Chains A and B, each alone.
Chain A
Amino acid sequence: MAVLIFAETENRNYKKIAFEVASYGRALADQLGCALHAIAFNVDDAATLGTYGVEQVFHIDSPSLEPFTIQASGTAILEVAKAQGVHHLVLSSTANARYLAPWLSIHLEAAYASNVVALPESTAPLKVKRSCFTNKAFNYTTLSSDKSIIGVANNSYGTHEAPKTASVVPTEVALKTNSLKVTAVDAPTGQVSIADSDVVVSGGRGLKGPENWHLIEDLAATLGAATACSKPVSDMGWRPHSEHVGQTGKPVASNLYIAIGVSGAIQHLAGINASKVKVVINNDPEAPFFKAADYGVVGDAFTVVPNLIEKLKAFKAS
């Protein structure tokens, strides 16, 4: 028996999220008293997962796995899981992982719990803690199948080193042809995505118009952050939909979330609440965001943000 993780990669490197999933998998394997294996696609240095406690990496190097399709990636994971007699599969909560998990759940006949935020309370039966009501609550769920798939909520467990020497097993899997064809992928390079970023800088209607977004962009650039916005800002077309965060937009689970000119409506907060540290800059001390934030500045964004950028630059240089 072993725990298997799906370690996601990008441009032949592991994504940072793979290390969090590996860390979770290591701790789960320790709870269960078993080994930790990983499956990874198209990565140059597959053995680096050893740092986080992975003992064996099933590595598939194949152009058919790019761009991502659920059929090819799903089949590859399924075949390895079956061949290894895996009972517990751990995935992240990236868009692709959440896309794959239900497919794997049916084909592997495994119970699937998404949004898992902590290690299991017990392993027989498996009981996990999950976020629900868009981060306004948690639930404890029992999985009642002998096989399980755990989707770890992004940035909920963190990365923890537990060095092992990982052996890499080059693996081949016969991949089915896809009925679902990816015709193109638009992925602007050089931009940090909200999902992958440690820091997210978000702007609301308080910024008055798209022409003022250089404030958000400059602050984000100073911090190496992704940019985001509130729903009305994307509805009015000031910013693209892909930046809309909140209950009906993208979820944010960054280490630092800075909200500027965002009032902090319940639907906005719900979607960003999984972020570890929240900072609000708003000229209205009564704005609800102040109740949800860790740090706040009452002030006009048009003066506070340029000052903050300047001071951050000085801080970074020192």
Chain B
Amino acid sequence: MRRSWFLIIAATLGFLFLYIPIGSLILFSFNESKLVTVWAGFSTKWYGELLRDEQVLGAVWISARIAFASATLAVVLGTLAAFVLVRMRAFWGKPILRGMTTAPLVMPEVITGLSLLLLFVSMERMIGWPAGRGMVTIIIAHTTFCLAYVAVVVQSRLVDMDESLEEAARDLGAAPVRVFFDVTLPVIAPALVAGWLLAFTLSLDDLVVASFTSGPGASTLPMVIFSKVRLGVSPDINALATLIILVVALGIVIAGLVMRRK
């Protein structure tokens, strides 16, 4: 009995620690007052305010496009990497490839951002592409680190997959490409969806790498929020944050459900 009380208290404290900040943020997004710390009654006016803020809406649109593009690219490249890592026989370059694919998971974001910035600058000087920095460079940057996450998710699914499924399909008369689309893809599809959602939220969320690789006219949502907050926290930012939390939570729940479905 004592044990279970201990567990309940531990769980409660843990949850409070995690969610009080988020809870207060959501609560104050419905605050009537302009002062963030003073409660003056329930209101949704900051949400209305938000919808009239051109700068924020523009940033939402840019971030969404970047997240969509980099998640999609990351799924394609990450899946290819996972295939090589799981299916290819051991060769001298395989440990290196494995290390390189997972490095962005543990690399400090500042370093990822800085190195990409240096790369883009020198590429522009040498081959003239990418010309200046903006959405394209952010997409490339986000793809590189999202790819690592996708590769991890897809790898675990591929390892679990019975390879004789593919052999069975070939045995029944399907050529290799056909086998991929008829059997492999449907079997690993949940991992692809989960990987895409994960990459999407990671990209949406990123401030550091985007700041390094962005250029004029390509401010992502986190960048806009950050610059606004530096001038003082305003309640419409709370409203915006609440909406982002909603989107991210939805993404995580969907990813979880998709992964659970066998």
Chains A and B bind each other = no
B: residues with CB less than 8 A from A are: none
Which residues of A pack against B, CB within 8 Å?
Answer: none
